[in-house]
Structure formats: C-alpha cells, structure tokens
A = this chain, B = another copy of it.
Amino acid sequence: MTAAEEAPRSRRRPRGDVRAGLVAAGVELARSGGPDAVVLREATRAVGVVPNAAYRHFADRDELLAEVCSAAMNELAERMAAEIGRVRGKRGNPSAAQRRLGAIGAAYLEFARDEPGLFATAFAVPQQHAYAGRDTGDAPDRTPLGLLRAALDELVEAGVLDPQRRDGIEYPIWSLVHGTAVLTGQGPLRDASGVELRQIEARTLAFIGNSLA
C-alpha cells in the first residue's frame, strides 16, 4: 500500500531484490501455515510482482520452497546458538557443559512450540532439492547438528561423557528431541494439556541426562 500503488508499474527493482523478497514472503507464509502455505502466487503478490516473475529466480515452486526451508533451518540454528550463548561458564566446566547441552534441547523444543509452521517447514525440504548443509569449511558449523556435536565434544572434554560412548551419540539424542517436538507438536500428542506437555519435555531432557551418566 506504499510504493506499489504510488508507482504503479516500476518495471525494474534493485538487483536481487525480488528474489530475496520472495524468500522473505515465503518464510512469513511458512511461519503462519507451514510448508503447504508457501504458495508461489501469494509470495509474488506480497512482493508486488506478477506470478511469472518468480520463474526468473527459481526453476519452480519447489526450488523456492527449498530456499524457504533452508532459511527456516537457519532460524532454528540461530535460536539454538543464542540460547547456548546465554549460558555462563567457561568451556570445559562440567556444569556449564551440561547446561549448554540442556539449552540446546530446550531451544529446539521451544522453537517447535513457538514457531510450529517454521519448524515443520525446516524439515519439509522437497525431494529434488535436498538440503545440503553448506559446510563452510573451517568456520564453526552453525547447523543444529553442528551445534549439538560441539556441545557433546565439550562434554567429553569436561569429563562428563565417557569418550567411548561419544561416537555417534548425537543421532539418538537428536532423534529423541526431534521426536518429542514432532509428536507433541503436529503429532498424536498435540492435544495433551500444557502441564502434560511440559512433563513430557522434562522427561525427554532428563532421559538424555540419564543416558550420559
């Protein structure tokens, strides 16, 4: 209702603007309605462009969706990293290391609860455009799995986790937290009451701590 109406047909936008706008619009659609709500025409409407313009930037709707999924996954990782950063204590300190792992799980569950649409979207990458975790080499891996691994490594370093049990333990832990998020979010447990949900989440985190000792 601003520039779109004042300048009825400004044919050209700044370079890369439309593409970024489409992704941003897609993210908002995903936020409020999950992956199925990411509809190409709606995104172009939000940007103020004709539907076909999207095809100058994406091969098809799936490619746009893949980009949106990637953005959603990034937001999840950002929130996890923020929650980790909030935990005080030197690296290698046993208590701090344990609290950092707890912060990871809590942030994950919180994201799934507060942003169900984005959470579902983050894991709804279309088959053709698999989400490649764009490994930036030496830079610290700011993906959910990368953050989890770092936390587990710190637990070993702090002497909390037996090095012999370290190998591959990220997968059951990730699965446990993810499963809890899915079942209580969109899954069969979604109708549980607030107290029940908190109890289930608490049990999940306790289950992890139990398995490390």
Question: Which A residues have a C-beta under 8 Å from some C-beta of B?
Answer: 36, 123-125, 130-131, 133, 145, 168-169, 171-172, 174-180, 182-183, 186-191, 199-200, 203-204, 207, 210-211
Return 24 A-B CB contacts under 8 Å, by A number.
A124-B186, A125-B188, A130-B190, A130-B191, A131-B188, A145-B188, A168-B199, A169-B203, A169-B207, A171-B189, A171-B200, A171-B204, A172-B176, A172-B204, A174-B183, A175-B178, A175-B182, A175-B183, A175-B204, A176-B176, A176-B179, A177-B179, A178-B179, A210-B211
Number of copies: 2
Identify which of A168, A172, A178, A187 gathers the most chain B CB atoms within 10 Å of its CB: A172
Residues of B within 8 A of A190 (CB): 130
A145 to chain B, nearest CB (A): 7
Residues of B within 8 A of A177 (CB): 175, 179
**B182, B203, B207: the one within 8 Å of A182 (CB):** B182
Residue of B nearest to A143 (CB): B188
Does the CB pair A179–B175 fall under 8 Å? Answer: yes
Interface residues of chain A: helix, strand, loop or mixed (majority): helix
A195 to chain B, nearest CB (A): 12
A38 to chain B, nearest CB (A): 13
Residues of B within 8 A of A199 (CB): 168
